[in-house]
Structures are given as C-alpha cells and as structure tokens.
Amino acid sequence: MKLGVFLVLFGDRSFTDALDYVAKSGLDTVEIGTGGYPGQAHCNPAELLADKAKLRRFAKEVSDRGLEISALSVHGNPLHPNAETARRYHEDFVNTVRLAEELGGLQVITFSGCPGESETSQNPVWVTCPWPEEFTQVLDWQWREKVIPYWSKQHEFLKKHGVRVAIEAHPGFVVYNTETMLRLREACGDTIGMNFDPSHLFWQGMDPVACIKELGRQNAIFHVHAKDTAFDDRNTALQGVLDTKSYRNELQRSWIFRTVGYGHGEKVWRDIVSALQLVGYTGTLSIEHEDSLMAVEEGFQKAVAFLKQQVIREKLDNVWWT
C-alpha cells in the first residue's frame, strides 16, 4: 500500500514546489485536481490534451521526483438540475477521463451527483427519509430518470477509454453509503467503484471496516482517502448528526473533519488499513486535509507521520506471518 496526498492541499504553491514538498515528505503518490469542486490549480486537462509536449512535461515533473499519480479528481455534480451547471461538470469529467487515458489509464474520482426532484427543479434535492411518500417517489424518479441513464452511458465511455471512475460516497449526493454505491455499480457497470473516504462514513454511524469487507467482496474499492471525523458528545446528544451549521462553527457542531488520528485512534486506523489489505487493496492512502483546527502543513505532516506508522506495522505483520 502506498501513501499519497490530494495535491489541492497545496494549491497556493506552484506544481513544481508542491511536488518537491511531497517528495521530501517521503510520500509515493499525488492525487491531482482537474476541475469541478477541487478546481484546476495544478492541471488543466483541456490544455494538456491540446499540447502533447506540455503533457509530457507535466508527467515528467511527477516521475522525476519518484512520484506517481494515484488519481485525477474532478468531484462535481453532472446531474445538477441546472443544465449549464451540469454541462460544465460533465465537460470537466469528460476531459479528465481523456487525460487519464493519455497518462496510462489512471482512475478518475468524482461524486455521483444529485438531481433535483423533477424536471423543473433549480437545485439538487437529497432525499434522506422515505416518508411522507413524496420523498420515496422523488428518489425513485431520480434513479430511474437521471442517475442510472447518466452513469450507464458513462460506463460505456469509460470502457472505451480504459479508465475507471471512483465515486466518493458523500452525503448530499445519491451515492452516500455502501448500499447506494453497490446499487450504482450493479445497475451501471463495473468500471464504477468507490473512492473510500472513512470521514464521510464515521459521522453517519457506519463502520468503515464492515464497509471495506462488503465493498471488497465486490472488488469495488478503487481509491482511498485518509481523513478523520471527530464528534462533540454533548452537541451530538442534543442535535444528532444531521448538522447544517458551518464547518467553521466548531464549538456548536455535532462533528467536524479532523486530521487522521485526531478523531479516531491508532487501533481504528490500523483496523482500517488491515481490512484494506485483507480485501486485496494495494493502492494509495491519499491524505485529504480539511481540519479547520490545524494549519495546512501541520495537519499534513501529522497525517504523514501517523499513517506511515500504520502502513509500516502492517507490512511488518505480513512479513512475520509469511
């Protein structure tokens, strides 16, 4: 298993400086933002696709530092009910898939998207309960009319270009847990798998190890984010986990995102790494830093040190058992 980072963390640095810093930190891979919510701080797919020399220089910048690209990330909402917004997200996705092919068949990370409740919607509608019955009707309509048709078509597109897509299960989108991830994969095709991010599962009350084992049975884990979640017991007891307050309102929220090890301890993360190895995952643990209580470099370096311990220990355990 390799250690990497989602490079948008260093979006204020040049591509060269960001890669130098990652390499000096002893990591193996970088995940690069190519549009959508992550933006294009270090990579504009349309420009690289139009200029082969620039594309070769881009790839060489990475390889010259002994690094690999773990994935291209274009998290967006191609099912957005606003047609122009959906078009922009889809265009970013298409360009990213084409770039992934040019770079040797890399995998692409995105969200499943979320439609509105009807053809006249202006904004996405995320359904979280079955009653009143209108909610179930909306959910059925979304999957039947929007989700399955779109992703079935993208499955064929991905096959044509030799690329896989890792959907990040995220509340607010139609794929947000194990069940919805496997539903999308079964309905639309096996080029579709999961970008496994425990932080989004923790706060929903899910067990990442159980999820890994279930997803692993379907060979559905394509990529992994390393990010943690911490709970405020008092606020959770009073409000539950469905919390719409700003992430900056840390004192009042039920939960916030944290650097790995600051939400759940060493045993939890060792169990996650062990479960990934049990199901045959050999890809990257990609550090994603969204900890509002730590500066970027502080949170990044703490995550690097913490995860190196877990991965090294798992390697030693495997050697001993062998």
Structural domain boundaries enclosing 71: 2-321
Is 120 a residue whose pLDDT tops 60? yes
Pairing of strands 255-258, 284-287: unpaired
Instruction: Grade residue 310 by pLDDT with cuts at 50, 70 and 90.
Output: confident
- Measured between alpha carbons, how far is 322 from 320 in angstroms, rounded to an integer? 5
The residues with which 72 forms a beta bridge, in sequence order, are 32, 108
- Say what angle helices 148-161 and 178-188 make with each other, to 10 degrees: 70
**Average pLDDT rounded to a whole number, residues 211-223:** 98
DSSP string across 225-250: EE-EEEE-HHHHHHH-S---S-TT-T
| CATH number of the domain enclosing 160 | 3.20.20.150
Q: Mean pLDDT lowest for which of 70-84, 170-184, 220-234, 301-315?
A: 301-315
Instruction: Grade residue 269 by pLDDT with cuts at 50, 70 and 90.
Output: very high
Is 319 a residue whose pLDDT tops 50? no
pLDDT of res. 315: 55
For 259-284, the three-class secondary structure string (H helix, E strand, C coil) is CCCCCCCHHHHHHHHHHHHHCCCCCE
Domain count, the chain: 1
Q: From the CB of residue 281, how many other CB atoms can be counted at a distance below 10 Å?
A: 21
- pTM to 2 decimal places: 0.95
Is 173 a residue whose pLDDT tops 70? yes
Instruction: Grade residue 10 by pLDDT with cuts at 50, 70 and 90.
Output: very high
Is 322 a residue whose pLDDT tops 60? no
- To the nearest whole number, what is the mean pLDDT of the chain? 96
